[in-house]
Copies of this chain bind each other. A is one copy, B any other.
Amino acid sequence: MPLTATLERVEIELGDRSYPILIGDDLLDDAAHYDALPSAAGALIVSNTTVAPLYAQRLRAVLQQRYRTVHLLELPDGEVYKDWTTLNLIFDALLGHGCDRKTVLFALGGGVVGDMTGFAAASYMRGVPFVQVPTTLLAQVDSSVGGKTAINHPLGKNMIGAFYQPQLVLCDLGTLKTLPPRELSAGLSEVIKYGPIYDMAFFDWIEAHMDALVARDGAALAHAVKRSCEIKAEVVGQDEREAGLRAILNFGHTFGHAIESGLGYGEWLHGEAVGCGMVMAAQLSQRLGGVDAAFVARLTRLIERAGLPVVGPALGTERYLELMRVDKKSEGGEIRFVVLDGPGSAVMRAAPEALVREVLSRCCQA
């Protein structure tokens, strides 16, 4: 298929680890997009049992023009499989096929496939190149960009991983057509996130185009993906390893991770937990004086319009607090939150426990 007019390019500027994000329709099949990749004898496509039947053969066909051998590995689908046992299937495949240290890995799927393939690429023979081909909205706007890779541990989400940048991110908007509605909503959660933490003009745009986004209007999705990637690129370019600024991208994630972990991974989608977590983080921000009640209501309404939950599950306040204490942002036992210090601006800080308890009791089912 020829290039369409919608091809967009966003650069992640990280010195010798810089790479482009390409965004457009049916990019998957265009061999030209792969031209700049390092040469190698072989490639391994890592996907899952849901996505592989839809897109793996198309990707394989185009990669076979470039690599002598192209293997495919289908992982089981779901956050619950984002663990060592599943990760090891990637190492088994790489070693079983005799893949050398130049082998290129392609992550074809959502955030779970991307995070695990990225960590496998970071660790196999201490590092092989990899490419992100995200097929969910969430992965296209967030998880495939910026080099965070990880697996979960029973005691915490994304606790074992690496900062490891891909060579290329290919966001094929065509793949969003097959996304289940619940996954689309989960992706919109991370799109919405960029507004309150960084760009109120984008927030206004999302409000104006939420109906179009939910209806999968191509132009609306293209803009949402592009602007999200631009913001992520700006933030990651300034703080690759999350020494400071980058942490704002975790708005809603401290509460969200507690929900995911407390219910058991996979019960709520990551984006759903983050959507609800942003409501809680906004409530906390209001109590800390960063935003007013009208803004919290406006954000809550937008999250709801995206089809996302805005009330947390009844885990109990003590359990929430316990789960949040193992968050990676915690230091010396103190839970730290990303909160808004104004519309379009976020900071990380500790919050008085009494306020956190108030937020939990207000925002969660009894």
Q: Which chain A residues have a beta carbon within 8 Å of chain B's beta carbons?
A: 41, 68, 84, 88, 91-92, 95-96, 98, 100-102, 122-127, 148-150, 153, 155-156, 159-163, 241, 325-326, 328, 330-333
Nearest-Cβ distance from residue A265 to partner chain B, whole angstroms = 15
- Contact across chains for B102 and A331 when beta carbons are under 8 A apart: yes
Nearest-Cβ distance from residue A155 to partner chain B, whole angstroms = 4
Nearest-Cβ distance from residue A300 to partner chain B, whole angstroms = 31
- Contact across chains for A325 and B159 when beta carbons are under 8 A apart: no
- CA gap between A92 and B84 in the complex, in Å: 13
Nearest-Cβ distance from residue A135 to partner chain B, whole angstroms = 24
Having A100-B328, A126-B163, A127-B241, one finds 20 other A-B pairs with CB under 8 Å, namely A41-B333, A68-B332, A84-B84, A91-B153, A95-B156, A95-B159, A95-B326, A98-B326, A98-B330, A100-B330, A100-B331, A100-B332, A101-B331, A102-B331, A123-B123, A123-B161, A124-B160, A126-B149, A126-B162, A127-B162
- Contact across chains for B160 and A148 when beta carbons are under 8 A apart: no
Q: Provide the residues of chain B in CB contact with A330, threshold 8 Å.
A: 98, 100
Nearest-Cβ distance from residue A102 to partner chain B, whole angstroms = 6
- Contact across chains for A162 and B162 when beta carbons are under 8 A apart: yes
- Contact across chains for B126 and A95 when beta carbons are under 8 A apart: no
- Contact across chains for A159 and B41 when beta carbons are under 8 A apart: no
Q: Provide the residues of chain B in CB contact with A122, threshold 8 Å.
A: 162
Q: Provide the residues of chain B in CB contact with A163, threshold 8 Å.
A: 126-127
- Contact across chains for B155 and A41 when beta carbons are under 8 A apart: no
Nearest-Cβ distance from residue A343 to partner chain B, whole angstroms = 29
Most B-side CB within 10 Å, residue of A123, A126, A127, A330: A126
Nearest-Cβ distance from residue A81 to partner chain B, whole angstroms = 16
- Contact across chains for B333 and A98 when beta carbons are under 8 A apart: yes
- Contact across chains for B159 and A91 when beta carbons are under 8 A apart: yes
- CA gap between A163 and B101 in the complex, in Å: 14
Q: Provide the residues of chain B in CB contact with A101, threshold 8 Å.
A: 328, 331
